[in-house]
Amino acid sequence: MFSKFIVGLSLMLPLSSWAALSLEQAEQLALAQDPANQRYSQQQASLGAQAIANSQLPDPMLRFGVQGLPTDSFALDQDPMTQLQVGLSQQFSRGDSLALTAEGYQLQAEQSAEKQAERALQIRRRVRELWFQLSYVIEAQQLVAENQRLLEQNLRHIERQVELGLKQSQDLLQGQLQLAQLTDQAQRYQQLEHSQRAMLISLVGPSAGQELLPAAADWPTTVAYSERDEYNHSDLLLQHPSLLASLNAIAQADTRIALAEERFKPAFKVELGYGHRRARELDGSQRSDMLSGFVTMDLPLFTDKRQNQQLIASEHGRGMALAERDLLLQEMNGTLNAAIANYQLLQQRRRHYQQVLLPQAQAHIDAVEQGFESTTSDFNQVIQSHRQQLMLQLELLQLDSQANQALAQIRYFQGS
């Protein structure tokens, strides 16, 4: 509820009350307040502690007791076999099980760090996409506002000519209808701005309600990569945190296989005991105390139903991890190819708009306005020519926004 209030307040505050916000600042703010950061940090600390705790030998066991106590008198000095005993035992794990267990937890901690890096890349990509979408809407509003001012000036001129009887009132009505449509278009863009700014505020915080500094996708390395003629991006993608986390899962599977192999080895327990005897010899001398020592081990002789099956399960687990790595690599490679193709086609369309469509639209406006001055064309043609130019300009702005978003997606795959 409080976050909704902050979003609403940010949208109502005048932009002049804030300092302008840059894209880089927005990214840093979003990363700083992302709750996943704290979660992953705590997870890494937890796994690190578990790696230490689970790589230690079990605590030694201390044993106290009485052995050979006669039940007729319960006297400690009646029978020579009666002993007061104290013993100490220590359990030892199979082979390198402890070291492998610690390695497994360390790998999980590293995987958590890789997922944290992947989350940061996702946050950056999302902020960039929203930024370019919002920039388009803001620039579109400015362009519509410029056309509104120009049309209002023309309408004042037409109104004076209608009053003088030089123009028909239908020209004035047509112009007023066009102005009303531009007003509605400006309101729709304003509505879209509020919606997109609210989404940006949910990531960046209230500061996203302020004025945004204009930002182009100034990423020359990304542009250069998008121009490369290749379809296999394995070398690049294998450095991405998502693939590193997947490779880490394979390493964890290898550790589980090694642990399963260690279960074929025996586990040992060493025990030392000391027995004190209270009974005396026939001549009254003290009987000697007793010292005992044992080594106990389990015998993994029947392995078909336990150890073998655990090893098979671990090997299948590694196969699953390999398949998931390959599937993820394939999906990411396809998505990156699609983003590159999308960017290249958007660039072609941008050049077509800049070099062909917009110059032709301007030439058409010039011709229509000359005809209007010489009364060979009506005011409606002037309005329609400007309307067509406005639509082309808005479409070019949208192409710019989409191309920047495509670059942001490519940059995500570059790990930047």
Predicted confidence band of residue 164 (pLDDT cuts 50, 70, 90): low
Region 12-24 average pLDDT: 64
Q: Quickly list DSSP for 48-96.
A: HHHHHHTTSPPPPEEEEEEES--TTT--TTTSTT-EEEEEEEEEE-STT
Least confident stretch, 18-27, 131-140, 333-342: 18-27
Which band of pLDDT confidence, cut at 50, 70 and 90, is reported for residue 199?
Answer: very high
Question: What superfamily would CATH give domain 27-57+93-265+300-413?
Answer: Outer membrane efflux proteins (OEP) (1.20.1600.10)
Residue written as token pair 């000519």 = 161
Residue 226 confidence (pLDDT) above 80: yes
pLDDT at 17 over 80: no
Enter the pTM of the model.
0.84
pLDDT band with cut points at 50, 70 and 90 for residue 14: very low
Nearest to 395 by CA among 37, 34, 140: 140
CB-based contacts of 266, cutoff 8 Å, min separation 6: 94, 297, 298, 299, 300
Strand order in the sheet with 83-92: 61-67, 83-92, 268-276, 290-297
Going by C-alpha positions, the residue among 271, 270, 276 that lies closest to residue 290 is: 276
The predicted model gives 144-164 an average pLDDT of: 82
Q: What is the pLDDT of residue 84?
A: 87
Q: Is the per-residue pLDDT at 15 higher than 50?
A: no
pLDDT at position 120 is 96
- The answer, yes or no, to whether residue 74 has pLDDT greater than 50, is yes
Amino acid (1-letter code) at residue 166: L
Percent of all residues in the chain with a pLDDT value above 90, rounded to a whole number: 63
Q: Which two tokens stand for residue 159?
A: 């109104």
Is 5 a residue whose pLDDT tops 80? Answer: no
pLDDT band at 168 (very low <50, low <70, confident <90, very high): low
Q: What is the pLDDT of residue 4?
A: 41
Over residues 166-191, the mean pLDDT reads 84
Flag whether pLDDT at 7 surpasses 70.
Answer: no
Closest CA to 220 of 378, 13, 416, 364: 416
| pLDDT confidence of residue 229 | 85
pLDDT digits over 308-350, tens only? Answer: 899 999 999 999 999 999 999 999 999 999 999 999 999 999 9
* β-strands 61-67, 83-92 pairing: antiparallel
Which of helix, strand or coil describes residue 298? coil
| Residue 251: both structure tokens together | 């390493």
- The values of phi and psi at residue 238, to 5°, are -70, -10
pLDDT surpasses 90 at 281: no
363-383 pLDDT, tens per residue?
999 998 888 777 777 778 888
**What is the chain's length?**
416
